[in-house]
Chain A
Amino acid sequence: MKQLSTKVTSNGHGQDSSYFLGWEEYEKNPYDEIKNPNGMIQMGLAENQLCFDLIESWLAKNPDAASLKRNGQSIFRELALFQDYHGMPEFKKAMAEFMEEIRGNRVTFDPKKIVLAAGSTSANETLMFCLAEPGDAFLLPTPYYPGFDRDLKWRTGAEIVPIHCSSSNGFQITESALQQAYQQAQKLDLKVKGVLVTNPSNPLGTALTRRELNLLVDFISSKNIHLISDEIYSGTMFGFEQFISVMDVLKDKKLENTEVSKRVHVVYSLSKDLGLPGFRVGAIYSNDEMIVSAATKMSSFGLVSSQTQYLLSALLSDKKFTSTYLEENQKRLKSRQKRLVSGLESAGITSLRSNAGLFCWVDMRHLLDTNTFEAELDLWKKIVYNVKLNISPGSSCHCTEPGWFRVCFANMSEDTLDLALKRLKNFVESTDCGRMISRSSHERLKSLRKKTVSNWVFRVSWTDRVPDER
């Protein structure tokens, strides 16, 4: 197939066929409270559906913003023609202020250092193009968002080397893990250009501690490399602790305006905090002018629609809205997470103590037949096909320990969540009964096992639906 590029004919787009199976099953048989109460409940989608009413009510009170008007006058022409890759100034200003508000106004963001992109997917890829050559590597703590394999590596040629984190310390990043990852990269003859963290973490649902952030800043300082902090979930922090951004740490360590601060870049998006993944709004924030300049030009390949920039600049400029929203959003997320956690507990399932995100990192190691990834996949299939819940297996997030699953809680109604928890409880209790599996179940599992292909397989021509969301 020399006609097409190797990017197309290889499988670097990263679509894992076993992960895809769960999605496919859901699409074939989606749960509906009325029309399909026995269908599959989607718990693999990290969407925030809890606060749309707040935005809808704002839209109803502020009709100009969506109708392409300003003070009652049509600005359609102005918006139709606006394609400046520097972005709409009012929008960048509103974004900068929103990012500040999320961080308790402890740090400031300069709108001139913001580069808009069509989603954080585009933002992350662009940063790779700016910071790494093909063959260079970035270190990422595991477990991490499966989409990174495509976003960071596919078209850029960059490599990912994992920083192994384990349950022994709540999956926190340690100095030795960082050093080991760095050495591993050297062994593989890869030049390390930086570290990329998601803070708060996907799939863990935990915010990085100050200690971890300090470690990271020290590490990149000593190795003279970059740090990308993807803070896409920064507005979903609902725990007692405040969200600490890497920007906070730079300020506290008095490292602003130093060489190190030029190597720290933040990625943000409105897809999770505001629940607007369809609008494609992402941003890169960098203290390095050259990066801002290059990334700005690269944003030509994925600009935010001016129609959308205008709507959201109006929304986010309304400080009454933003403060109410952030507060209410956190309240609802907290209460929803609590519901999931206690529901899991009553099924004898614990999860990593989390304080952010739209999901829990659930410990189902005790439900595995063996402490292996094959057993994890078996369990996952049971949960997909028998319990009819689509959840994400830890192996798809490159977790080094089998038995962990990411379970989302903010993309469904409370009733649906309750139902999902009931099903799970029934499943656990039935399995617990002697853990005896009937013959027919055995046969079923065997044939299921044959269906899976746990390696990366090139099936581009029909494996064409990927859970795009994080």
Chain B
Amino acid sequence: MGLLSKKATCNSHGQDSSYFLGWEEYEKNPYDEIKNPDGIIQMGLAENQLSFDLIESWLAKNPDAANFQREGQSIFRELALFQDYHGLPSFKNAMADFMSENRGNRVSFDPNKLVLTAGATPANETLMFCLANPGDAFLLPTPYYPGFDRDLKWRTGVEIVPIQCTSANGFRITKSALEEAYEQAQKLNLKVKGVLITNPSNPLGTTMTRIELNHLLDFISRKNLHLISDEIYSGTVFNSPGFISVMEVLKEKKLENTDVFKRVHIVYSLSKDLGLPGFRVGVIYSNDDIVVAAATKMSSFGLISSQTQYLLSALLSDKNFTSNYLKENQIRLKNRHKKLVSGLETAGIECLKSNGGLFCWVDMRHLLTSNTFEAEIELWKKIVYEVKLNISPGSSCHCNEPGWFRVCFANMSEETLKVALNRLKMFVDGPSSTTRSQSEHQRLKSLRKMKISNWVFRLSFHDREPEER
């Protein structure tokens, strides 16, 4: 197939067919409280649906913003023509302020160092294009968001080398894990350009500790590397110990205006905190002028619609709204998280103690028939096909221990969550996992055949991917 590029014909877009199965099943049979109460409940979607009413009520009170009006005057023409890749100044100002507010105003962000992109997806890819050449590597702590395999590697030719984290210490990043990952990259003859972390973590739902952040800064300092901190979930932290951004640590360590400072870059987006993934709003924040300049030019390939920039600049400039929203959002996330955790507990299932994100990192190791990834996939299939819950298996997040699953809690109503937890409890309490009926055995066997756990090229009809993180 010499006619198409390797990028188009290979499978590094990263669609894992087993992960896809859960999605496909959901689409065939989606739960609806009234129309399809036995359908599959979607718990693999890290969306924040808890606080839309706050935004809707703001929109009702501020109709100008959506209607291309400013103080009663139409600015339609101005917006229709506005394609400056430096972005709408009022929007960048509002974003910078919002990011500060999210960090308790302990650090400030300079709008001139912000680059706007159509979501965090292009923000991350763009940073790869800016910081790495094809064949270079970035180190990422496992488990990580499956989409990174596509976003960081596909068109850039960059490699990911995992920093292995384990349940032994709550999946925290350790100095030795960092060193090991670096050495592994060297063994593979890969030049390491930096480390990328997601803080708060997806899929763990935990914020990074000050110790970890310090380790990271020391590490990148010694090895002369970059650090990308994807802080897309920064506004979803609902419990102590609270969110500490790498920017704060740089400030505390008085590293502003040093070389290291220039090698730390932040990615942000409004897809999780504000629940607006459809609007495609992401940013890169960098203290390196050259990176800002280059990324700004690259943002041409994914600018934010001026219509959307304007709407959101009005929304985020309203400090009454933002402070109320952030507070209320956190309260609701906290409640919802509690409901999931206690529901799981009554089913004898624990999860990693978490204080942020839109999901829990759930420990189902005790439900595995064996401590293997095959067993994890089997359990996952049971949960998808029998319990009718679509959750994300840890293996899809490159977790190195079988039995962990990411379960989302903010993308459904409270009632639906209750139904899901009920089903799970019944499954766990149900017929003992060691005695299976003949028919169940057959069923599992045929399920096993359906699955292909390797990356398979099935582009021509595998065209629906769980897009969200």
A residues whose Cβ falls under 8 Å from a Cβ of B: 1, 3-9, 13, 15, 47, 49, 52, 55-56, 59, 63, 66-68, 74, 76-77, 79-86, 118-119, 121-122, 125, 129-134, 136, 150-151, 154-155, 193, 224, 226, 263, 271, 275-280, 288-291, 293-298, 300-308, 311, 460-462, 464-466, 468-469
Q: Tell me, in angstroms, the Cα distance from A302 to B271 when the chains sit together.
A: 15
Name the contact of A77 in the complex, choosing from B52, B150, B296 (C-beta under 8 A).
B52
- A132 x B84 contact (CB < 8 A): no
- A301 x B83 contact (CB < 8 A): no
- Residue interface mask B43-81, A partner, CB < 8 A = 1: 000010100100110010001001110000010110111
Q: List B contacts of A121 (CB < 8 A).
A: 300-301
Given contacts A3-B224, A83-B271, 10 further A-B contacts (CB under 8 A): A66-B66, A131-B3, A134-B134, A150-B297, A193-B3, A275-B81, A278-B305, A290-B9, A460-B294, A468-B300
- A278 x B467 contact (CB < 8 A): no
- A308 x B263 contact (CB < 8 A): no
B168 interfacial by beta-carbon distance below 8 Å: no
Instruction: Please name the residue on chain B nearest to A156 by beta carbon.
Output: B155
Name the distance in Å between A86's Cβ and chain B's nearest Cβ. 7
- A290 x B8 contact (CB < 8 A): yes
Q: Tell me, in angstroms, the Cα distance from A8 to B305 when the chains sit together.
A: 25
**3 interchain residue pairs of minimum CB distance:** A306-B278, A278-B306, A302-B302
- A8 x B13 contact (CB < 8 A): no
Q: List B contacts of A291 (CB < 8 A).
A: 4, 8
Name the distance in Å between A151's Cβ and chain B's nearest Cβ. 8
Q: List B contacts of A66 (CB < 8 A).
A: 66-68, 307
Q: List A contacts of B132 (CB < 8 A).
A: 5
Name the distance in Å between B260's Cβ and chain A's nearest Cβ. 11
Q: List A contacts of B5 (CB < 8 A).
A: 129-133, 136
- A226 x B55 contact (CB < 8 A): no
Name the contact of B291 in the complex, choosing from A8, A76, A150, A311 (C-beta under 8 A).
A8
Q: List A contacts of B291 (CB < 8 A).
A: 4, 8
Name the contact of A83 in the complex, choosing from B83, B133, B468 (C-beta under 8 A).
B468
Q: List B contacts of A275 (CB < 8 A).
A: 80-81
A81-B49, A304-B305 are known contacts. Are A129 and B279 too (CB-CB below 8 A)? no
Name the distance in Å between A252's Cβ and chain B's nearest Cβ. 24
Instruction: Please name the residue on chain A nearest to B133 by beta carbon.
Output: A5
Contact stretch, chosen from B89-97, B122-130, B230-238, B412-420: B122-130
Q: What are 15 contact pairs spanning A and B, CB under 8 A? A: A4-B131, A56-B74, A59-B68, A80-B275, A129-B5, A129-B7, A129-B155, A279-B306, A289-B460, A294-B4, A294-B13, A297-B13, A304-B280, A461-B293, A469-B83
Q: Tell me, in angstroms, the Cα distance from A13 to B130 when the chains sit together.
A: 12
- B3 x A224 contact (CB < 8 A): yes
A122-B302, A150-B300 are known contacts. Are A279 and B294 too (CB-CB below 8 A)? no
- A67 x B67 contact (CB < 8 A): yes
B146 interfacial by beta-carbon distance below 8 Å: no
Instruction: Please name the residue on chain A nearest to B461 by beta carbon.
Output: A293
Name the distance in Å between B16's Cβ and chain A's nearest Cβ. 13
A81-B47, A130-B4 are known contacts. Are A293 and B300 too (CB-CB below 8 A)? no
Q: Please tell me the size bucket of the interface on B.
A: 35 or more
Q: Tell me, in angstroms, the Cα distance from A275 to B83 when the chains sit together.
A: 11
Q: List B contacts of A306 (CB < 8 A).
A: 278-280
Q: Tell me, in angstroms, the Cα distance from A13 to B295 when the chains sit together.
A: 11
B298 interfacial by beta-carbon distance below 8 Å: yes
- B307 x A311 contact (CB < 8 A): yes
- B47 x A303 contact (CB < 8 A): no
B455 interfacial by beta-carbon distance below 8 Å: no
Q: Tell me, in angstroms, the Cα distance from A151 to B465 when the chains sit together.
A: 27
Q: List A contacts of B49 (CB < 8 A).
A: 77, 81
Q: Tell me, in angstroms, the Cα distance from A293 to B329 when the chains sit together.
A: 37
Instruction: Please name the residue on chain A nearest to B126 by beta carbon.
Output: A301
Name the contact of B118 in the complex, choosing from A74, A279, A303, A466 (C-beta under 8 A).
A303
**Which of B79, B301, B304, B460 gathers the greatest number of chain A CB atoms within 10 Å?**
B301
- B294 x A82 contact (CB < 8 A): no
- B297 x A466 contact (CB < 8 A): yes
Q: Tell me, in angstroms, the Cα distance from A224 to B464 when the chains sit together.
A: 31
Q: Tell me, in angstroms, the Cα distance from A398 to B193 when the chains sit together.
A: 37
Q: Identify which of residues 154-183 in chain B touch chain A, using a CB-to-CB cut-off of 8 Å.
A: 154-155
Instruction: Please name the residue on chain B nearest to A469 by beta carbon.
Output: B83
Q: List A contacts of B325 (CB < 8 A).
A: none
Name the distance in Å between B264's Cβ and chain A's nearest Cβ. 12
Instruction: Please name the residue on chain B nearest to A79 by beta carbon.
Output: B278
Q: List B contacts of A271 (CB < 8 A).
A: 83
B311 interfacial by beta-carbon distance below 8 Å: yes
- A303 x B301 contact (CB < 8 A): no
**Which of A122, A130, A294 gathers the greatest number of chain B CB atoms within 10 Å?**
A294
Q: List A contacts of B121 (CB < 8 A).
A: 300-301
Instruction: Please name the residue on chain B nearest to A298 by beta carbon.
Output: B155
**Which of B5, B82, B464, B467 gathers the greatest number of chain A CB atoms within 10 Å?**
B5
Q: List A contacts of B76 (CB < 8 A).
A: 52, 55-56, 59
Q: List B contacts of A307 (CB < 8 A).
A: 66, 278-279, 305, 307-308, 311
Q: Tell me, in angstroms, the Cα distance from A77 to B77 when the chains sit together.
A: 27
Q: List A contacts of B136 (CB < 8 A).
A: 5
Name the distance in Å between A52's Cβ and chain B's nearest Cβ. 5
- Residue interface mask B300-323, A partner, CB < 8 A = 1: 111111111001000000000000
Q: Tell me, in angstroms, the Cα distance from A151 to B151 when the chains sit together.
A: 19
Q: Identify which of residues 11-31 in chain B touch chain A, using a CB-to-CB cut-off of 8 Å.
A: 13, 15
- B279 x A74 contact (CB < 8 A): no
Q: List A contacts of B303 (CB < 8 A).
A: 118-119, 280, 302
- B118 x A86 contact (CB < 8 A): no
Instruction: Please name the residue on chain B nearest to A262 by beta carbon.
Output: B3
Q: Tell me, in angstroms, the Cα distance from A333 to B159 when the chains sit together.
A: 50
Instruction: Please name the residue on chain B nearest to A225 by beta carbon.
Output: B3
- B294 x A8 contact (CB < 8 A): yes
- A118 x B302 contact (CB < 8 A): yes
Name the distance in Å between A313's Cβ and chain B's nearest Cβ. 13
B402 interfacial by beta-carbon distance below 8 Å: no
Instruction: Please name the residue on chain B nearest to A53 by beta carbon.
Output: B77
Name the distance in Å between A222's Cβ and chain B's nearest Cβ. 15
Name the distance in Å between B326's Cβ and chain A's nearest Cβ. 17
B366 interfacial by beta-carbon distance below 8 Å: no
- B305 x A305 contact (CB < 8 A): yes
- B304 x A461 contact (CB < 8 A): no
Q: List A contacts of B306 (CB < 8 A).
A: 278-280
Q: Tell me, in angstroms, the Cα distance from A76 to B298 when the chains sit together.
A: 30
Q: Tell me, in angstroms, the Cα distance from A1 to B131 when the chains sit together.
A: 11
Name the distance in Å between B109's Cβ and chain A's nearest Cβ. 19
B119 interfacial by beta-carbon distance below 8 Å: yes
Name the distance in Å between A90's Cβ and chain B's nearest Cβ. 14
Q: Tell me, in angstroms, the Cα distance from A155 to B301 when the chains sit together.
A: 10
- A83 x B294 contact (CB < 8 A): no
Q: List B contacts of A288 (CB < 8 A).
A: 4
Name the distance in Å between A185's Cβ and chain B's nearest Cβ. 16
Name the distance in Å between B104's Cβ and chain A's nearest Cβ. 26
Name the distance in Å between A319's Cβ and chain B's nearest Cβ. 21
